[in-house]
Structure 1
Amino acid sequence: MINIEDKKQCCGCSACVQRCPKQCIVMKEDEEGFLYPVADKDVCIDCNLCEQVCPVLRQREEREPLDVYAAFNKNEEVRIQSSSGGVFTALAEPIIKEGGVVFGARFNEDWEVVHDYVETVEGLSAFRGSKYVQSRIGCAFSQAEQFLKQGRKVLFSGTPCQIAGLKLFLRKEYENLLSVDFICHGVPSPGVWRQYLNEFIALMGNKKNSVFSPSKPIVLNSIRDISRIEFRNKRLGWKKYSFALTLSVPDGHGAKNTVLLSEPYNKNIFMKGFLADLYLRPSCYACPSKCLKSGSDVTIGDYWGIQNVKPEIDDDKGICCLLVNSDKGKNILFASMELIGTSFAEVLQGNPSLIKSVVLKNERSQFYKQSSQTSLTSTILDLTRLPLLFRCKIYIYNLLLWVRSLLSFKYKMGSDYEDK
């Protein structure tokens, strides 16, 4: 029977919930905003199926990929709409066109992240773009199993631990399954994400004047006034991506205006806390699925550092790294992708998360203590503020750069004057 004593021992994949023959396990949210399985001891028959499908208890062997590529979608529009190179869409479209089903993470009407499936090419747009929140799997493993047993092709995408959970849940290999995971830094708390959105709505609702249009105040009444969220908007480019919210707000005449709020990732409060590892799931600090242990056929991710490895293809529109991990993955149709061969070592240079878990910091426990007493914004700003000495060093460094550029400019102007 599943009994979580140490929260690092549960990645929240929900495989145990879906495999239990008595349906006596439910996922319950804890005080940090993460879901954990809780079993009804009175109904449990001690079959141990829940333990047999747990990716923490049943870890696979470490692997290295068979082939490694830098890749991007040849469709420019899809590429721009995607977080990096648009490779997920390129993998998914052939599955759909052959009558298959694609599973991925999308936002629901309350902007929670949930796993779902689509059967049309148009439906794939909901799965595009990174979502830095742990998705709620629900019954997606069971649904995928039903489709597989019907003989339909299935592409299932998710975090490495979710793919590991899916593989164990299925209990056998299916030739009609293509499993795709991505390079995962760690999954932030859905509870913190909910708190961030609620604070944002409250802030905008209380503003007398809008930062977007001072002459026409914008007041958000609920989370439903948000019409689009992008964690990785490319308005400033792929490397300097922005967090963007599209708002649908009343214009005072019965109609609605669409307004874009966009912040560079290092200025957005939620992203600052995520990148500082303040509210990742406890299991992320001891991830059971690093080193390609998930069993996925393909692993995708941003090819960070491509400008150092293959600068000739870096146009700042997004480049993926694509790791082919199985013979099944080798048989994928790559017709809609541009592929450039590279190496696992080169990918690792910019993506250490492939093999290393994030380091647990003292600030994590401080975050949960403070955020229950003060606003999320003030807590994150306080815990991500650089030490005074470090800030002074940065100030002095920037000052010296400014003085050097000023002297260089004066010297150049003097030289030009003498030439004349």
Structure 2
Amino acid sequence: MDRKRNKRVGNKYLILVVFGLICIGCKNDPKLEIEEVVEVIPEPDPITMFGFNIDDYVVKHDTIKSGDSFGEILERNNIGYPKIFHIAEKAKDTFDIRRLQVGKPYVLLCAKDSLETPEAFIYQPSKEKYVVINFKDSIHAFTGIKPITYVEKVATGVITSNISTTLDEKGLSPRLAYKMADEIYAWTIDFRRLQKGDRFKVIYTDKYIDDSIYIGVDNIKAAYFEHNKEPFYAFEFVVDSTKGIIDYFNEEAKNLRRAFLKAPVKFSRVSSRYNLKRRIAVYGFRVRPHKGTDFAAPIGTPIMATANGTVTESRRKGGNGKYVKIRHNATYETQYLHMSKRLVKVGQFVKQGDVIGKVGMTGNTGGPHVCYRFWKNGKQVDPFKQKLPEAKPISDSLKVKYLDFIQPIKTQLDNIDFLEDVFEDENQPEHRLKENTNPISYNQ
């Protein structure tokens, strides 16, 4: 037993001696120093929403319901009407609280107290835009736009029946069809008479919020449409950066548009044409000249300026009701009658396609429509019988710049293969797009 005990004691001393030698060695050799490793766990970044740290609040999401008002929303969340009135007065220069729309989302940021008293109201009139009314300490309001990412994409297709069906089969936005048919090729190709086998290539830009929420097509950079085996190129180009005028031209710098749109409203029908010999039963079949063209459309339908110009009248007068008149140049003027709402002011410059009002029934009218009147050299004429000019061509000084500008874009467009040449595997996914790997993102 003594021998075993002595052996255990010896082993303990041996361990102590070895440990001591290691410690001495560590002091003499810095490479052998033993350091205490402390794991540092970084604090998570605060979660922000519309510039607020939401960890500081009780967050309540909701949508505007029928009958809701700004005051009622705050009142049922424990804010009294004297303060509500004060908040509304302070915020009115930034946002009119009467403009809340049913179905639009809003957020209340509430204090973490027993009453969960609101300290900020955030309203989202669209996916991109928001309005903040902050009344935590002092009252202030501001508007903002969420960061938007722009992703350049390309798409190609072959027409089997119509452009909308072709895009839908590939999971592409119908907005592309609208832009090609109504904004780019409206005066060049009749999209109601496309042929089976017509094909297209398009370079366009999609918009995303927070890199993930798709909010639609932003613009078309360039397009190629082969109709009846005839090629039609289109390139987007800024003609006037001051006025924000953007137009589409072909590879020879010729404008693809005409100076005037065919109609001031979309998806409408002509209910009454220009007729200087019109007789109406209500007036005893006497001649009552109609110097306008009526386009029937539901109340609230957007009315567009048919050409670039400056608003010379925006008022309500007699049988015309609410109307807008635009001077386009020294030769042409247009007028839009019976509006329910006017959206432009005298002196304002408008571009072709801008919404200037809404269809209504003001003045002398038997139903909702817009009476479109057209002046040439101060005389009202029938726009359908006029040989209207083409849109303004590129100036000689801009033409060289334009041709240099489109050269790399045309090369990019020409190098895009059509789907049947690229995707031979029938098991490939339907949504076939090539994306720019370097999207541009900025906070507007």
Q: TM-score range by the shorter chain?
A: under 0.3
Greater share of residues in strand: 2
Look at both structures and tell me which one has the larger radius of gyration over its CA atoms. 2
Q: What is the TM-score normalised by the length of structure 2? A: 0.22
Q: Which has the higher contact order (CA 8 A, sep 6+)?
A: 1
Q: What is the TM-score normalised by the length of structure 1? A: 0.23
